[in-house]
Structure 1
């Protein structure tokens, strides 16, 4: 069940369906992003998803999902295949650059909802790829 929930989350991500992702998170979800502040609550997560949909086109491949026996924690390893569409403040200028980046996410779950999402990737690697 836990692995299915996380697989559904990633399927919604790959389909470009932020509403599908939002349906799986709790109202008080905590979103810990790589190199950034923690976003708290569904509205902050929705804002992040909207921003990402404008600035980046990404698909996640080679997803492997792990889950704890008690169904309260999960993790996934995957490869991000993306295109940088619109310049993000403080980052290199976007010119449609493509990138491939290994990444991982960690989740906490409660009552069938995702309550925490923590994502890690190598920002230095990403900057080097889009700056080349």
Structure 2
């Protein structure tokens, strides 16, 4: 369980540092990335491309982090607050003008051989749209 918590915490430290390479180091090669309101992406390369896009459109820091891990270390979850700035207009979403937002969010993980093999992220998209509109 401690190894699972450690990889999840490293993943989020890398996120807050905007360090995609360090995030990718936490992931299994065949990671399945389930994003809120989107398609499942499979593999580190697809995850890295998603991160590049997100870093272009958004600047985010996660606070109030609480990480949970199953006793067998194969699953984990995290609850946190997303504090962000909408930097560049994302396709199909309101126009970006530097709006700030604050959202509760959560992620669920599967862990295999010390690496994250599944990431599922949830937040309230309607609340985000309200905050940036």
Which of the five TM-score ranges fits, normalised by the shorter chain?
over 0.9
| Cα distance in 2 for residues equivalent to 1:130 and 1:61 | 20
- Structure 2 length normalisation: TM-score? 0.98
Paired residue for 2:91, among 83, 89, 94?
Answer: 89
Matched length: 131
Structure 2 unaligned regions, length at least 5: none
Stretches (4+) displaced over 6 A: none
- Structure 1 length normalisation: TM-score? 0.98
- Cα deviation code 1:13-60 (max 9, x no counterpart): 001100000001011000000000000111100000000110000000
| Cα distance in 2 for residues equivalent to 1:39 and 1:70 | 26
- Cα deviation code 1:86-112 (max 9, x no counterpart): 000000000000000000000000001
Q: How does 1:1-132 map to 2 (within 5 A)?
A: 1-131=3-133
Q: What RMSD in Å do the two structures reach over aligned CA positions?
A: 0.4
| Cα distance in 2 for residues equivalent to 1:126 and 1:18 | 23
